[in-house]
Structure 1
């Protein structure tokens, strides 16, 4: 079947088998490997992408279900001006170690910031509760998401002045 998915702002029309998972389509057909395959059961969140602005676990979404949608992967966070604030905050605040969970954590964090520009520790912990990290203990991930939120707010203020 043919699917048309906008991924990171670029249109991708592809013939896929109806059973093709979105994560496999993104990695194998489109060639974006920042979306990781972890558990295939929605338990780890390594495959998290944004579909129409909302986090979804791409290991349980069929490419056919994403037909007509806008999908953002970690590669799509970077803009013309450079890294997205969440990307630079993860680096600055040491919100990553092995990096396997990082793309999913960043996308969940970016989605949270879009909905809640000043998230509390509890807000962040709830938002990332579906994503597992086996390295960091989450403290620096929470800090990085809050740092990114502050940077987004500061940029909005300076652009609105």
Structure 2
């Protein structure tokens, strides 16, 4: 696979079942070729903690599209390559809850890679938090901003590939089946 869809979501509250923003960076042939970002109206309340962390509030998203409107735009991108995220199970879980919450059927499962898990195997002995890895590699980061986080994750993935990592050794499967 030579196309990777690297994504990051921000959430409005502790339930982590809706997103308030999504960022996507697409890697093709060893470089970032496409980026997408939008705020998302989660149609839920915001927790103070999440607002402080992300800077996204109910006021920020009042005119933003809701998840089904965003899904119509991003589904072709999400279908177009291997999904990748930093701490991927979190981002995939939020995506799964959004799909279920709005009654949207997608795939029963997806193949994905997690840059946290990759990093633990490829560069043991350091923290694999996104900001720490960005400092390690000299990657610019505006942390907890979905567009910046997805781009940083894509840059980290490219660094892993440059160091000889083989994607086949890091592919996992995530189930989107209803539980």
Q: TM-score, normalised by structure 1?
A: 0.30
More strand per residue: 2
Higher relative contact order (CA 8 A, sep 6+): 2
TM-score, with normalisation over the residues of structure 2? 0.28
